[in-house]
Amino acid sequence: MPTRDPRYDILFDPVAIGPVTARNRFFQVPHCNGMGYRDPSALAAMRGIKAEGGWAVVATEETEIHHTSDISPAIEGRIWDDRDIPAHALVTDAIHEHGALAAIQLVHNGMWAGNFYTRIPPMGPSHRAVAGDISPIQARRMDKSDIVDLRRWHRQAVARSLEAGYDIVYVYAGHNGTTLQHFLSPQYNDRTDEYGGSLENRARLLREVLEDTFEEVDGRAGVACRLAIDELIGDRGLRRDDMDELMSLIGELPDVWDFVAGPWEDDSVTSRFGPENNREDLLRGLKELTAKPVIGVGRFTSPDTMVRMVNQGVLDFIGAARPSIADPFLPNKIEEGRANEIRECIGCNICVAGDWTMSPIRCTQNPAMGEEWRRGWHPETLRRKGDAARVLVVGGGPAGMEAAMSAGRRGYEVVLIEASRELGGRVAKEARLPGLAEWIRVRDYRRDQLDRLDNVAYYFESSMTADEILTYEFDHIAVATGATWRHDGVGRTISRPLEHPPGLEILTPDDLLAGSGPTGRTVAIYDDDHYYMGGVLAELLVREGLEVTLVTPAADASNWAHNTMEQHRIQGRLLDLGVEIVTAHELDHTDPAGLVLRSVYTAQPREVACQAAVLVTSRLPNDALYLELVAQQAASVVAVGDAFSPGTIASAVWDGRRFAEELDAPPLEGPFPRNIAAI
């Protein structure tokens, strides 16, 4: 059995947080999950898995303290009144079962929330339009009685939190979405009374709420403060340079500080735009301003980086949201000398998309995320096989690798065959695109795990026919042969195949991923996919010296990437690179001179001259082998991943896990478990 590398011993020192003690330095900071008040059992199971995996502190998502702070349609936590306590007790019980501390992040969203559910006008430090979106709603300026009410509501929420069993209570002033930060920030606070003007005045409400919270907990829990250390908008907002003065005012009030940078999209930058620990420059030096322990995040996956941050006095706790999602057992793996088995976060932010789409959290690397209660999946432990069946997996992409790995972990004898000379499928190709290098971790983790399984064998350059497969008498066959980008333009806006006249070079992402670039200098990309592919291919071609126009029917480039909080960065980078972006135009047809478009609003035509066009529209499953096996009545054959239904890499990985989980399982009747509202 491996033992812990002594270089990492410091990560397992216990650290006091006021009256409670964390068993190590791994702190799962608050993160949203798309389950919140709607799915309490699923939420509790997910948090409990983190505690089982070795995190010393496991925190909730932001939890609304009052109905005047309603962030619908987002599904967050709520502790509006005593009726919410039982749902929170589920969470604390699940966390405590594995010896971790439970933390709750209390929030009043103020002028960030439109209060669509409660219909109560939001409030904040100033008369302003709500800041969270462009809704035609304005927040009203809080008067002194409102401030008194807010302090009372927060104290009541603290009392409920203690009754629910939380060990740490957060006072939340970060991420541009909380009333306490709005008072702190000159961006939002234009008051001239004792709660506005100077930094000391703007910090008054935060200081009062911290003092109220300490008085309410009365030594029964630790008090954390999550603080935005820089809004990253210069003099218009709170700056890192303000921290010396601010910490001189309130630096010793909480038991622990949780420092964040900017709004959420700056605190959780995708790997395409920010490496691990990309906010160290802002975190460095803050610990010198307080005697209290400090938490910080940086998408930490390397134990060496974690140790350096502690040894150099930057952090006391290794904060993590996304790495704890990708691998809830990250702390245990380091402690057990298995750091090389960490399922490293790839920084794609598909987890974040769950929150923005109001759907349960998912993860590209960890298909069990969000399924711990609904389907009974565990990120590390799979139930043992129920029979002696043999499994064949055809295709070594993300779905095939996950299917083979998970079936192998269950104890099945598995053979994985891959037609090319490397595993990874689309992941191996897409990871070569600009900014996506860390996505190769999807392949590397699974390849490493496959190599550890004596009951799994994989073979390259093996293109098997249906007839050949049937001679081997496998009991279960998973066809994971991927999908192909369409050449005919069919997608969301084009319903019938286009006939391309000669003269214009027509390409798809598959051509570029295979290294077959345009022969001409001018290229138009028609992006009807709206996720990352169109934008990243535009970046690729510009960096190869071509002139690129990106056309999209949407209002902006890579529109769905708003859900991964990177659309603004994608469009900004393309503009900086000189890409012409044509929005709100559909492709009508191609001609030898280029693309002929029509406005989505007026149907007026527009031409984009180019020598080559790249159509990023939709994909077709490579299901010929699957259909042939079905036609020959092969026993227990299924298509998985993109070969069944083209989707994201996360979807393919999830489907591979589902295949392995359902081997020897009885057919499901009805939906998965869910919490039903009581009437």
Q: Each residue of 359-402: pLDDT tens digit?
A: 999 999 999 999 999 999 999 999 999 999 999 999 999 999 99
Q: Please answer whether residues 28 and 300 qualify as being in contact, where contact means their C-beta atoms are separated by less than 8 angstroms.
A: no
612-649 per-position pLDDT tens digit: 999 999 999 999 999 999 999 877 999 999 999 999 99
3-state secondary structure 212-234: HHHHHHCCCCEEEEEEECCCCCH
What per-residue confidence (pLDDT) applies to 314?
Answer: 97
pLDDT band at residue 521 under the 50/70/90 scheme: very high
What per-residue confidence (pLDDT) applies to 677?
Answer: 81
- What pTM, to 2 d.p., does this model score? 0.96
275-317 per-position pLDDT tens digit: 999 999 999 999 999 999 999 999 999 999 999 999 999 999 9
pLDDT band at residue 610 under the 50/70/90 scheme: very high
- Percentage of the chain beyond pLDDT 70 is 100
Give just the sign of the alpha carbon dihedral 652, 654, 655, 660: positive
Q: How far apart are CA 571 and CA 568, in angstroms?
A: 5
433-449 per-position pLDDT tens digit: 999 999 999 999 999 99
- Average pLDDT of span 461-479: 92
Would you name the residues annotated as active-site residues?
32, 172, 175, 267
What per-residue confidence (pLDDT) applies to 633?
Answer: 81
Q: How far apart are CA 658 and CA 641, in angstroms?
A: 10
Give just the sign of the alpha carbon dihedral 308, 312, 314, 318: positive
541's tokens:
């071609």
CA 254 → CA 171, 230, 258, 293, 328, distances in Å? Answer: 9, 19, 10, 10, 27
Under CATH, to which class is 390-482+626-662 assigned?
alpha beta
Domains of the chain, by residue range, sit at 27-292, 390-482+626-662, 487-620
**DSSP bridge pairs for 591:** 594
DSSP 291: S
What per-residue confidence (pLDDT) applies to 481?
Answer: 98
134-190 per-position pLDDT tens digit: 899 999 999 999 999 999 999 999 999 999 999 999 999 999 889 999 999 999 999
Task: Give Cβ neighbours of residue 81 (< 8 Å, ≥ 6 apart).
Answer: 160
What per-residue confidence (pLDDT) applies to 90?
Answer: 98
pLDDT band at residue 671 under the 50/70/90 scheme: confident
- Average pLDDT of span 512-520: 94
Tokens 């040894």, located at residue:
311
37-64 per-position pLDDT tens digit: 999 999 999 999 999 999 999 999 999 9
- Secondary element (H or E) of residue 567: helix 567-576
pLDDT at 463 over 90: no
Under CATH, to which class is 487-620 assigned?
alpha beta
- Average pLDDT of span 665-672: 79
Strand order in the sheet with 585-591: 585-591, 594-599, 605-609
Query: In CATH, what is the architecture of 27-292?
Result: Alpha-Beta Barrel (3.20)
- Average pLDDT of span 511-531: 96
Q: Please answer whether residues 372 and 480 qualify as being in contact, where contact means their C-beta atoms are separated by less than 8 angstroms.
A: no
178-236 per-position pLDDT tens digit: 999 999 999 999 999 999 999 999 999 999 999 999 999 999 999 999 999 999 999 99
* 542 three-state secondary structure: helix
- Percentage of the chain beyond pLDDT 90 is 94
Average pLDDT taken over every residue of the chain: 96
Question: What are the backbone dihedrals phi and psi of residue 452, each rounded to the nearest 5 degrees, phi first?
Answer: -85, -10
What per-residue confidence (pLDDT) applies to 672?
Answer: 83
586's tokens:
């559909």
What per-residue confidence (pLDDT) applies to 133?
Answer: 85
pLDDT at 262 over 90: no
Q: CA gyration radius for the chain?
A: 26
What per-residue confidence (pLDDT) applies to 1?
Answer: 64
pLDDT at 240 over 90: yes
88-111 per-position pLDDT tens digit: 999 999 999 999 999 999 999 999
